[in-house]
Amino acid sequence: MQDLQDAKTLVRAHYTALDSADLNQIENTLAARLSPTCHWRGFHPFNEQSGPAAIAATFWGPVRAALSAVQRREDVFFAGYSGIDGSDGVWVVSMGHLMGLFDAPLLGIPATRKLAMLRYCEFNRVENGKIVETAMYCDLLHLMRQAGIVRFPDQTAQHLVQPGPRDHSGLLTSAQDPAEAAHTLQLINRMIGAIDDANADPEARTPREEMAVCWHENMLWWGPEGIGATYTIDRYIEQHQGPFRRGLADRAFNGHVARLAEGNFGGFFGWPNLTLTNTGGFMGIPANDVRADMRVIDIYRREGDKLAENWIFIDMLHFLLMQGVDVLAELNQK
């Protein structure tokens, strides 16, 4: 229990220092709590980096230069143990928005000089008092929409500035009952198994029967820009699961880097989680035979014995790039 609390304290101090650091102090601020060889993963075009200097130059420097007067608007914060080989240990998870004034361009996304919310989720593995591994996933397509660039206007659901948990219970700064974490993780694992069973035998259960095993009737699915958010089992099936399964085939599950829970919250990320083929057309991209990867973070809130809310981050830019659609290059050609 104390290991989790110590890790939370370290990450909290890291965020406090990072969010208030001057631009010329970002590398030193990262170096104070990151290991010299910290393995950092981010969505395209940030991808994989090693060590504070590269992380500062590639991600935090450009983001902080673009968003002035930045505030971390955190909705979920928890920690837990992940037993997955190669990255087992204590992880701390933070999810919310980085809010600031969009005062300078970022990756070709034009500045608006208006309020902007960069939706993010970050996993940090803590070992011997240092952050040794990070996954920082953020929704750049949604930032583009806020700048007036709607690259995928026909998304099947609705993208908003995604809120936090309905009951505002997501900031788990104090120690939680381990039995609750075990219950949450067991339910997440059961849900993953139900998806695997559906892929192995699509006729065994209807989509509604599959969903009802683990999901609350009025579940909320907070999806990424390009797909959007949806509400209730029936609308989720109509607005996401159905289009996803009709458009994408030959799903291969590649496993997770970390999967953990604390209290009623849990989640996982992979690198990549899934490999699929766009056989039916997806997000307006014509069908093709390319095997493309999805790097995904999922965060869940359990309510009783069912999953009630799910926040999803998908590296759409990377998934589309593998199919020959370079969204950022399109921006920079204008």
Reported as a single tens digit per residue, the pLDDT across 30-49 is: 999 999 999 999 999 999 99
The per-residue pLDDT for 1 is 55
Band of pLDDT at residue 161, cut at 50, 70 and 90: confident
Band of pLDDT at residue 101, cut at 50, 70 and 90: very high
Q: Indicate whether 70 pLDDT > 90.
A: yes
223, 157 Cβ separation under 8 angstroms = yes
Strands in 274-278's sheet, in edge-to-edge order, are 248-253, 274-278, 291-294
Identify the CA nearest to 150 among candidates 334, 329, 327. 327
- Give yes or no on whether 2-146 and 178-332 have one common fold: yes
Q: Indicate whether 199 pLDDT > 90.
A: no
Q: Which tokens go with 279? A: 């056989």
Query: How confident is the model over 91-95, as a mean pLDDT?
Result: 98
The per-residue pLDDT for 159 is 80
The per-residue pLDDT for 137 is 97
CATH node for 2-146 = 3.10.450.50
Q: Which amino acid is at 93?
A: V
Q: Indicate whether 2 pLDDT > 70.
A: no
pLDDT in tens, 108-154: 999 999 999 999 999 999 999 999 999 999 999 999 999 999 998 88
313, 121 Cβ separation under 8 angstroms = yes
- The answer to whether the bond into 272 is cis (omega within 30° of 0) is yes
pLDDT in tens, 170-192: 999 999 999 999 999 999 999 99
Q: Which tokens go with 256? A: 């997770």
Return all residues near 84 (Cβ < 8 A) that are at least 6 apart.
255, 256, 257, 258, 259
Q: Indicate whether 155 pLDDT > 90.
A: no
Domain ranges of the chain: 2-146, 178-332
Query: How confident is the model over 64-75, as a mean pLDDT?
Result: 97
239, 155 Cβ separation under 8 angstroms = no
The per-residue pLDDT for 334 is 62
For the domain with range 178-332, which CATH number is right: 3.10.450.50, 2.40.50.140, 3.30.465.10, 3.30.1490.20? 3.10.450.50
φ/ψ bin of 74: left (φ > 0), alpha (ψ from -120 to 50), beta (otherwise): beta
- For residue 155, how many C-alpha atoms fall within 13 Å in the half-sphere facing its CB? 20
**How many other C-beta atoms can be found within 10 angstroms of the C-beta atom of residue 332?**
11
Q: What is the DSSP letter of 25?
A: G
42, 138 Cβ separation under 8 angstroms = yes
Mean pLDDT for the chain overall: 95
pLDDT in tens, 261-300: 999 999 999 999 999 999 999 999 999 999 999 999 999 9
DSSP string, 105-143: -BTTBPP-SSEEEEEEEEEEEEETTEEEEEEEEE-HHHH
Q: Indicate whether 10 pLDDT > 90.
A: yes
Band of pLDDT at residue 196, cut at 50, 70 and 90: confident
Burial class (CB in 10 A: 0-12, 13-18, 19+), 147: middle
